[in-house]
Amino acid sequence: MNNQDRIVARHLLQIKAIKLNPQNPFTWASGRRSPIYCDNRIVLSHPKVRSFIQDSLVEAAKSFEPFLGVAGVATAGIAHGALLADRLGVPFIYIRSKAKAHGRQNQIEGELQTGGRYLVIEDLISTGGSSLQAVEALRQAGGEVAGVMALFTYGFPEADKAFAVANCPISTLSHYPALLEEAVESGYITAEEQSLLITWREDPITWSKQFEA
């Protein structure tokens, strides 16, 4: 764990892009209960944090070079990907979860260069499903994938396994352990709450069931 992981986590907590509430957990779209909620689109509304995240993405992207362009995963990865592409001066495209049902019926928007190598940008890695769906769409369309880069990951083992199976490198600016360390040190959560949060990450399905009616 490096200091940069903690600094990114600190910013995300300060602007409430990430919220922690182990006593009264959030309900995800899947129906699971979770003590953490992450919405990195909030970064876009905070210019100083946005610039810091943009700088961090530029630096982290160096480990994926060379690549021709940047591909954002719709919808939350689009803005971060576009900002990165603009700073790097490279082409940008974005990838929908599925093709449009009208018009040109595109799944990939922008000009994809066949055989071109793209860095895929996502805001958050949970199970990795949406990111790897985008990776597969890009590959099927004739592009090559340098890897996936995201702002934050929960670090679920199933996601790590899925990326390995897909032969797709992944990197994130911050991650769950760094977040918990920062949250405890800043007084956002107690050590007891940290233990609850660690338990959730180890087995989120069982953890969620305790809140079922």
Whether residue 132 is contained in a domain is answered as yes
Cβ neighbours for 148, distance < 8 A, ≥ 6 positions apart: 119, 120, 121, 122, 125, 131, 132, 135, 163, 168, 169, 170, 171
Whether residue 200 is contained in a domain is answered as no
- Structural domain of 169: 3-194
Spell out the per-residue pLDDT of the chain, length 213, in tens.
568 999 999 999 999 999 999 888 998 877 888 999 999 999 999 999 999 999 999 999 999 999 999 999 999 999 999 999 999 999 999 999 886 555 566 899 999 999 999 999 999 999 999 999 999 999 999 999 999 999 999 999 999 999 999 999 999 999 999 999 999 999 999 999 999 999 999 989 888 888 775
How many structural domains does the chain have? Answer: 1
Global pTM reads 0.93
Whether residue 78 is contained in a domain is answered as yes
Whether residue 208 is contained in a domain is answered as no
Cβ neighbours for 42, distance < 8 A, ≥ 6 positions apart: 15, 16, 17
Q: What is the pLDDT of residue 1?
A: 57
Whether residue 211 is contained in a domain is answered as no
Q: What is the pLDDT of residue 8?
A: 97
CATH code for the domain of 87: 3.40.50.2020
The pair of three-digit structure tokens given for residue 38, joined into one six-digit string: 């992450």
Q: What is the pLDDT of residue 23?
A: 87
- Max CA separation in the chain (angstroms): 54
- The C-alpha atoms of residue 39 and residue 124 are separated, in whole angstroms, by 8
- The C-alpha atoms of residue 149 and residue 99 are separated, in whole angstroms, by 23
Q: How many residues does the chain have?
A: 213
Whether residue 210 is contained in a domain is answered as no
Whether residue 212 is contained in a domain is answered as no
